[in-house]
Amino acid sequence: MFYRRKFYIVKSEFVEKFNELFHEINLPNQLKYGSKLVGRWMMDRKDGTTEVFAIWEYDSYESYESIEKNVRSDEAHLKRIENWYNSQGGKAHVFKEYFIEVRNEALESTVKENILK
């Protein structure tokens, strides 16, 4: 299995819109191509920002790469994303005004697989 964590720190005023993007556009497209969402959480950092992160599971790193290739080449999805960003003032504006940090990270288990079986 391959796991990744998609991590964001966003201005708290933008969290509702950001969650809308995830639920209405990004999640359905990820699931369409075979991504498995383990969960998505957020935490108010008490400084006007909110940490949001999701854990995704894939059969292998190669599976992750294949799914991401499909997601990024889906023209209808790309148009939905573009339209959403445009409705918020454009992608450059959103990243400049609302996103503090964005990371996409591979996760490594510290538990030996044979223990879980």
In the chain, the percentage of residues whose pLDDT exceeds 90 is 91
CATH code for the structural domain at 2-107 = 3.30.70.100
pLDDT of residue 117: 60
pLDDT of residue 109: 87
What are the residue ranges spanned by the domains of the chain? Answer: 2-107
pLDDT of residue 115: 67
8 A C-beta contact, residue 80 and residue 61? no
pLDDT of residue 116: 61
Dump pLDDT digits (tens) for 35-86.
Answer: 999 999 999 999 999 999 999 999 999 999 999 999 999 999 999 999 999 9
pLDDT of residue 83: 97
Q: Which of 74, 59, 64, 60 is nearest to 28 (CA)?
A: 74
pLDDT of residue 25: 95
Q: How far apart are CA 8 and CA 110, in angstroms?
A: 23
In this structure, what token pair is assigned to residue 54? 């999701």
